[in-house]
Amino acid sequence: MSKPIETSSGHRGLDLAEPLIFELDGPGRCGVDLPEPDAVTNRLGGLERQAAIGLPGLSEPQVVRHFVRLSRNNFAIDAGLYPLGSCTMKHNPRLNEKVARLPGFADLHPMQPMETVQGALELIDTLAEWLCALTGMSAIAMSPAAGAHGELCGLMCIRAALEAKGDARQVVLVPTSAHGTNPATAAICGYRIEEIPADDRGRVDLAALKEKLGPHVAAIMLTNPNTCGLFETQIVEIAEAVHAAGAYFYCDGANFNAIVGKVRPGDLGIDCMHLNLHKTFSTPHGGGGPGSGPVVLAEALAPYAPLPMVVRGADGLELVEHKSEALGTAASFGRLKGFHGQMGMFVRALAFILSHGADGLRQVSEDAVLNANYVLARLQDLLTLSFPGPCMHEALFDDRFLQGTGVSTLDFAKAMIDEGFHPMTMYFPLVVSGAMLIEPTESESKDSLDQFIATMRHLAERARQGDAGYFAGAPHLAPYRRLNETQAARQPVLRWRPAVQEAAE
C-alpha cells in the first residue's frame, strides 16, 4: 500500500486545510467599517468591560471561506446517498424550505399576541389533524422537540394516567432491539427496565413478553416496524396482552416512513406514539436542523397531554396554557417545553404532506419499502441477511459474510467512505453481530441504488479475496484518516492537521 502524498500547504487537492477561526484572527481586522462612536453614555450602571472578550476579528471573505471550507468536510443528503438505517435520510424538497422561510412563519415570536399568530396556529392545527388522521389517533401533543423528547412526553402521559388511577407501576418493558433512547427515556421517568428477547424471526418473542407482564408493568415501548426493518406481525396480540395486564402500549414511531398511508397505528391497539417529523416528513435531519417529535395519543391518554394546546374558541384559535375542565385539559401533566414546538419543522412537514396528498404519502411508504427490498435482493447472495426477507423500509445484514476475512463491519464501512458512500448504520441493532442496517428511503433513484449496490458487491468480494490490509487502512482518501473513536469522543482534537500526520500517529 502506497504512503499518502504529503503536500507543503497541508491542502490535499481541493480538500482545503482550515485552521480554527481563532487562529485566523488578526489585529484590527473587521468585516465592516463603523464610525468611531462619539459621546457614548454607559447605561450599564458603571459596569465596564475589563478586558477584550476574545472574539476573532475577520474580514467578510475570510468568514465566508472559513465556513464554506468547513462545510466541505461534511457529508449531506444533498451530496449523495445517505443510507443510515433507522434515520430515514430522505431528500428535503426545496418547496418546504421556501415556505418555511416565508417571513410570516420564519419571523414569528413565541410571545406575540394570539390574534397576530392565527395563521401559525391554523397551520399547527391542520398539521395536527393530518397526523391524527394518518395514525388513527384522537389527540396529539405538538411540542416535543425530537423523537427522544416525544418518548419522554409519551411516558409522562402514561405515568400521569396511571397515577390518576392510583396505580403506581415500576417497570417498562423494552425489546432488546430497541433504539437506545427507549430504555433511557424509561429510566429518566423513574422506571426499571426489563428486556424482552427477540425470536429467531427478529420479532418480539410473544411468549417471553407474556411472562414478563404483570401488575408491576406500566408500559411496553415497541418500535414498529422494528429496528431490524421488520413488521411486528403479532402486534395486535401484543397490544391485547399489554392491555389485559393493565399496561399501556407505547410505540416508537421513528420508522413510520415504512407504513405511512398504509397502516394506522391506532387500529393496532397502540396508545401513544411519537412521530419524527424530521424523518418521515422530510425536514433537515442529522445536524441539519432542529428535530420535531409530536406525540399522538389514544383517547385513554388524551386528557394527560401536555400544555399548551391549540383550541378553537369563539375568538379563533388560542393556545390554552392552563388546566381546564371545559377544554378537556384538566388532567394535563403540565408544560413539557418552553414554547409550542418547532414552527419551521411544522411548516416543512405540512408542505410535505400537502404536496404529496393522501395517495402520494402511501406511495412514499411503498417506494421506501420497494427500494429497501431491491437492495436486499441484490445483496443477499454476497452479504449475510440477518432475517429472511422481505423487509420493510430497511435491510439488515450482519458480519457473518466477513467471518475469516480479518475485515470487520467498521473496516467495511470505512472502505465505503473511500468509494464516496456514507456508511450505513453499524453495530445497531444489537441483536445481530456486526449489524449493517441499510435504509435507502424512497428518494433514491434506481441508478443511485445500482451504484451503491455495485460498490457494496465490489467491497464484499474484495474482503473475501483476503485484502484485509486495504480495509484496515481505510479510509485512504478522506480528509481525515481513521481516528481512535473512543479517544476522539473523549478528547476531541478540533484543530486541523494534515491526514499524513494523522496516519503517522
How many residues touch ligand PLP under the rule CB under 6 A: the total is 13
If you write DSSP's letter for every residue of 20-63 in order, what string do you get?
Answer: -GGGS--TT--SS--PPP-S----STT----S---PPP--HHHH
Grid cell 475570510 is found at 62
Among 58, 77, 82, 86, binds ligand PLP (CB under 6 A): 86
For the chain, the distance separating the N- and C-terminal CA atoms, rounded to the nearest angstrom, is 17
Restricted to residues 285-304, the positions that interact with ligand PLP (CB under 6 A) are: 291, 293
Asked if residue 150 lies in contact with residue 144, where contact means CB atoms within 8 angstroms, the answer is yes
CB of 252 or CB of 318, closer to ligand PLP: 252
Instruction: Map 319-380 to HEC letters.
Output: EECCCCCCCCCCCCCCECCCCCCCHHHHHHHHHHHHHHHHHHHHHHHHHHHHHHHHHHHHHC
Q: For residue 228, what is its C-alpha cell?
A: 431490524
| Minimal distance, residue 151 CB to ligand PLP, in Å | 7
CB of 146 or CB of 349, closer to ligand PLP: 146
| Minimal distance, residue 491 CB to ligand PLP, in Å | 25
Distance, in Å, from the CA atom of 261 to the CA atom of 258, rounded to the nearest integer, reads 9
Long-range contacts at 425-428 (CB < 8 A, ≥ 24 apart): 425/84, 425/85, 425/86, 425/87, 428/85, 428/86, 428/179, 428/227
Distance, in Å, from the CA atom of 12 to the CA atom of 29, rounded to the nearest integer, reads 28
Asked if residue 225 lies in contact with residue 254, where contact means CB atoms within 8 angstroms, the answer is no
CB of 117 or CB of 230, closer to ligand PLP: 230
| Minimal distance, residue 275 CB to ligand PLP, in Å | 10
Residues 6+ apart with CB under 8 A from 412: 402, 436, 459, 463, 471
Phi then psi for residue 123, to 5 deg, are -65, -45
CB of 18 or CB of 442, closer to ligand PLP: 442
Distance, in Å, from the CA atom of 153 to the CA atom of 150, rounded to the nearest integer, reads 5
Restricted to residues 119-148, the positions that interact with ligand PLP (CB under 6 A) are: 146-148
Distance, in Å, from the CA atom of 386 to the CA atom of 379, rounded to the nearest integer, reads 12
Among 96, 143, 276, 408, binds ligand PLP (CB under 6 A): 276
Distance, in Å, from the CA atom of 180 to the CA atom of 428, rounded to the nearest integer, reads 10
| Minimal distance, residue 154 CB to ligand PLP, in Å | 11
CB of 293 or CB of 306, closer to ligand PLP: 293
Restricted to residues 253-272, the positions that interact with ligand PLP (CB under 6 A) are: 254
By the rule CB under 6 A, 179 interacts with ligand PLP: yes
Among 143, 181, 371, 425, binds ligand PLP (CB under 6 A): 181
| Minimal distance, residue 221 CB to ligand PLP, in Å | 9
Residue nearest ligand PLP by beta-carbon distance: 147
Among 143, 223, 257, 329, binds ligand PLP (CB under 6 A): 223
Among 18, 252, 394, 444, binds ligand PLP (CB under 6 A): 252
By the rule CB under 6 A, 90 interacts with ligand PLP: no
By the rule CB under 6 A, 283 interacts with ligand PLP: no
| Minimal distance, residue 399 CB to ligand PLP, in Å | 21
Helix axes 409-418, 446-464, angle to 10 degrees: 130
| Minimal distance, residue 90 CB to ligand PLP, in Å | 13
Of 439, 433, 462, residue with least CA distance to 452 = 439
CB of 337 or CB of 462, closer to ligand PLP: 337
CA angle 416, 417, 421 (to 5 degrees): 70
| Minimal distance, residue 49 CB to ligand PLP, in Å | 39
Distance, in Å, from the CA atom of 417 to the CA atom of 464, rounded to the nearest integer, reads 19
Binding mask 338-367 for ligand PLP (x = CB under 6 A): ------------------------------
| Minimal distance, residue 86 CB to ligand PLP, in Å | 4
CB of 306 or CB of 498, closer to ligand PLP: 306
Q: For residue 417, what is its C-alpha cell?
A: 467512505
| Minimal distance, residue 84 CB to ligand PLP, in Å | 9
| Minimal distance, residue 395 CB to ligand PLP, in Å | 15
Restricted to residues 440-469, the positions that interact with ligand PLP (CB under 6 A) are: none
CB of 228 or CB of 417, closer to ligand PLP: 228
Distance, in Å, from the CA atom of 168 to the CA atom of 216, rounded to the nearest integer, reads 8
Grid cell 456508511 is found at 423
Distance, in Å, from the CA atom of 199 to the CA atom of 178, rounded to the nearest integer, reads 14
Restricted to residues 390-429, the positions that interact with ligand PLP (CB under 6 A) are: none
Residues 6+ apart with CB under 8 A from 24: 56, 58, 62, 66
CB of 59 or CB of 176, closer to ligand PLP: 176
Binding mask 225-244 for ligand PLP (x = CB under 6 A): --x-----------------
| Minimal distance, residue 146 CB to ligand PLP, in Å | 3
Where does this chain bind ligand PLP (CB under 6 A)?
86, 146-148, 179, 181, 223, 227, 252, 254, 276, 291, 293
